[in-house]
């Protein structure tokens, strides 16, 4: 009898990784049954697709999550009804801990095992969650090598599979004609701006990013790289205040923008790691509301010293990062100037990024995760 896996991903990146995982699971066992809550990428894999969780509940921050509780309860009910009806052999949770950890408690009561792929960042904040993880999770599949001893110390079964972003970047082929298509000369310098993929991120960070761009000397082109046209009107509205900038928006071509950029200004998140792996150097931004800023700076459950993944992986600040309150922060501009100019600071940053890349291992994370999952199922 074929095995049945239920997969949950609540964010766009998790949806992509979930789709990759499904493909590799089927390579191992073509008869495997997959059902899921996810996004369009997973839906296209010919699965039992329950609901588009990515579209309905892609949020960030404390207050939006609280306001979204009715949706959480609705998706939880959908999932539990499916569990009771179909009794999957295993639940695979991808990132998205706010929902997935809650779901795991109900799976545990139904004696359905859970494996977590791209695990909660308990090493960064709220480390007491390890108690729930130990109770409710059968195994953790981690994407950073430093996570392994954290779970081993708590006697939680863990395997390091690597970061699936490496799989994505391995497939990237640079467009050698990018500059020609964009009418940019070879010697001209590009400043890349990645303001984020959510409306709140763009509203809070783009003004400061463009203010920095406006005050950097020797910038020939400023390119705002967007993954989709969803918020292009908002970006145009904000950018219209900076008429002196040689500015353009490039859609769905972020990797080519980055490999051609002299420097990138990047909103905190996975994009910081992607930028560092592709090229670097970069400056990391995240503007917080005053209450959130206080929480980040002062409350004891924040246990990580950094917000940027290149710095977290390196366990020191190799690229400048700023969690800031004021839009025009001279410290951010100073760091951007130091990295824009050819000199010792820029060269040291590039060297440190290369060392960070070496720590990331090799592509194949989703394939290794699929093998771990099937090995677990076959041992049941």
For each of the domains in the chain, give its residue range(s) and CATH number, in order of start: 4-164+364-379 (3.40.50.2000), 178-359 (3.40.50.2000)
Q: What pLDDT score was predicted for residue 162?
A: 96
pLDDT per position as a tens digit, 75-102: 889 999 999 999 999 999 999 898 899 9
Q: What pLDDT score was predicted for residue 62?
A: 44
Burial status of residue 346 (CB atoms within 10 A of its CB: 0-12, 13-18, 19 or more): middle
| Pairing status of strand 321-324 against strand 263-267 | unpaired
Q: Model pTM?
A: 0.86
HSE-CB for 201 with a 13 A CA cutoff: 20
Average pLDDT rounded to a whole number, residues 148-154: 93
pLDDT per position as a tens digit, 313-338: 999 999 999 876 566 788 999 999 99
Closest CA to 264 of 295, 285, 290: 285
DSSP percent split of the chain into helix, strand, coil, nearest 5: 50, 15, 35
Confidence of residue 380 (pLDDT cuts 50, 70, 90): confident
Residue 61 pLDDT greater than 70, yes or no: no
CA 328 to each of CA 154, 263, 303, 337, 338: distance values in angstroms, whole numbers, following the listed order: 43, 19, 28, 14, 17
């Amino acid at each position: 009898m074929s095995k049945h896996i239920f997969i949950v991903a609540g964010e766009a990146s998790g949806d992509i990784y979930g789709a990759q995982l499904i493909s590799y699971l089927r390579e191992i066992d073509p008869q495997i049954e997959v059902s899921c809550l996810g996004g369009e990428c997973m839906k296209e894999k010919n699965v039992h697709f329950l609901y588009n969780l990515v579209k309905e509940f892609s949020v960030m921050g404390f207050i939006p999550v609280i306001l979204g509780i009715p949706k959480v309860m609705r998706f939880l009910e959908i999932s539990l009804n499916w569990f009771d009806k179909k009794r999957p052999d295993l639940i695979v949770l991808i990132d998205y801990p706010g929902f997935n950890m809650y779901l795991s408690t109900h799976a545990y009561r139904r004696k359905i095992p859970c494996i977590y792929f791209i695990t909660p960042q308990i090493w960064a904040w709220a480390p007491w969650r390890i108690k729930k993880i130990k109770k409710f999770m059968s195994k953790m599949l981690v994407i950073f090598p430093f996570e392994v001893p954290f779970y081993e110390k708590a006697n939680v079964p863990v395997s390091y599979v690597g970061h699936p972003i490496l799989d994505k970047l391995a497939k990237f082929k640079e467009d050698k004609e990018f500059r020609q298509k964009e009418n940019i000369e070879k010697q001209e310098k590009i400043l890349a701006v990645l303001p984020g993929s959510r409306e709140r991120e763009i509203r809070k960070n783009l003004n400061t990013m463009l203010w920095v761009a406006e005050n950097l000397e020797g910038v020939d082109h400023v390119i705002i790289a967007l993954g989709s046209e969803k918020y292009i009107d908002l970006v145009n509205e904000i950018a219209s205040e900076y008429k002196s900038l040689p500015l353009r928006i490039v859609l769905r071509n972020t990797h080519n923008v980055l490999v051609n950029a002299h420097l990138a200004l990047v909103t905190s998140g996975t994009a910081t790691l992607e930028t560092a792996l592709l090229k670097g150097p970069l400056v990391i931004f995240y503007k917080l509301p005053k209450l959130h800023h206080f929480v980040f700076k002062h409350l004891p459950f924040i246990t990580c010293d950094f917000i940027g993944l290149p710095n977290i992986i390196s366990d020191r600040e190799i690229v400048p990062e700023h969690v800031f309150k004021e839009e025009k922060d001279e410290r951010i501009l100073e760091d951007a100037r130091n990295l824009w100019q050819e000199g010792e600071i820029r060269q040291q940053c590039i060297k440190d990024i290369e060392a960070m890349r070496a720590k990331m291992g090799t592509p194949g994370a989703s394939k290794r995760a699929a093998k771990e999952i099937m090995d677990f199922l076959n041992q049941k």
